[in-house]
Amino acid sequence: MTADVNHHITTAFHDKKLLTKGELLHWLEGVYPGVSEETLSWRIHELKSKGLLESPGRGVYRLSAREDFIPVFSNLSKRIAAMLAKELPLVNTCIWETRWLNAWMELQPAYNWTLVEAEKDALDAIFNHLTGLSKKVFLQPDRTVMELYVLSLNEAVIVKPLVSEAPLMQEGKITTASPEKMLVDIVAEPSIFVAQQGELDRIYENVFSQVLIHQNRMLRYARRRKREERVQQLIPFIPA
C-alpha cells in the first residue's frame, strides 16, 4: 500500500463518520482497476493493519483518529544538524531527542539527551566536531559511562551507531527517528533508555492509541535488532 493511497483515502473520506465495506470496495476499484474483490478485501485488511482504518462494527469502517508523529526539535538539535550538514555534508545522520518519549510516559525524566546516529566509520569525526558544543558529548557510552557520567546531566549529546535499514523520517532538512524506530530502540538499548524501562507497556499503549504506527516496518527493524519477540509482546491489542 503506497503512501499516496494512504493520503488519498483520508482525503476522499475525511467528511464521513462511517463507511460501509461496499463504499470502500467501490473506491478501491478506482484505485486498483481490474483487481479481484478478494484482493480488494485484502487491501482493506492492509489499511486496518496500518492503523488507517478502524472497524467499530461488522462491515462498517471509519478513518482512524490516530495521527502522524511530528517531531519538534530543540535549538540544540537544529544547531547540530546545521553544523554537521556544513562540516560533514557527505555523512548521513539521524538526530532525535529523548524528551519526545515523555509525551507517552507517566513519570517525566528531568533530562533531554540529543541522540546523533550515523554509520560507525563517521562517529569519530562527528564526535570531534561536536566537542566544541557547550553540552557534554559522549561517544558510544556503555552502561558504566551512562551510570557514572550521563545520568546526572540534564542535557547531553550521545553519538552512537545507526543500525542499517532503520526506519527514519524527514522533518524539514533533518533526518530523524520515526516512532517505529523509537519504540524498538527503547527496548534494544536499556542502558541508554534507562528511564523508559519501567514504562515500556505504557509507552507502547499510548503511542499505538495516538500515532499511526506501521507494524510491519517496526517489526522488520526489531528483527534486525534481535528484539522482535519482545516488541511483539509489547504491542497492545487495539479493538478493531
- Give the separation between CA 83 and CA 135, rounded to whole angstroms: 14
In a domain, 239, yes or no: no
In a domain, 69, yes or no: no
pLDDT tens digits for the chain (240 residues)?
445 666 677 777 777 777 888 888 888 888 888 888 888 888 888 887 777 787 766 778 877 766 778 999 999 999 999 999 999 999 999 999 999 999 999 999 999 999 999 999 999 999 999 998 989 999 999 999 999 999 999 999 999 999 999 999 999 999 999 999 999 999 999 999 999 999 999 999 999 888 888 888 999 999 999 999 999 999 987 544
- Give the separation between CA 126 and CA 91, rounded to whole angstroms: 9
Same structural domain, 201 and 90:
yes
Same structural domain, 121 and 197:
yes
- Give the separation between CA 214 and CA 49, rounded to whole angstroms: 8
Same structural domain, 81 and 53:
no
Domain finish residue from 63, 96, 111:
63
Q: Judge contact between 139 and 122, C-beta under 8 A.
A: no
Same structural domain, 80 and 59:
no
Same structural domain, 87 and 13:
no
Same structural domain, 120 and 225:
yes
Domain finish residue from 40, 63, 86:
63
Same structural domain, 97 and 49:
no
In a domain, 129, yes or no: yes
Same structural domain, 47 and 89:
no
Its domain, for residue 51, covers 3-63
Q: Judge contact between 13 and 47, C-beta under 8 A.
A: no
Same structural domain, 88 and 45:
no
Instruction: Please give the model's pTM, rounded to 2 decimal places.
Output: 0.77
Same structural domain, 138 and 200:
yes
- Sheet of strand 112-118, all strands in order from the earlier edge strand to the far edge: 93-97, 112-118, 155-161, 137-139
Same structural domain, 83 and 49:
no
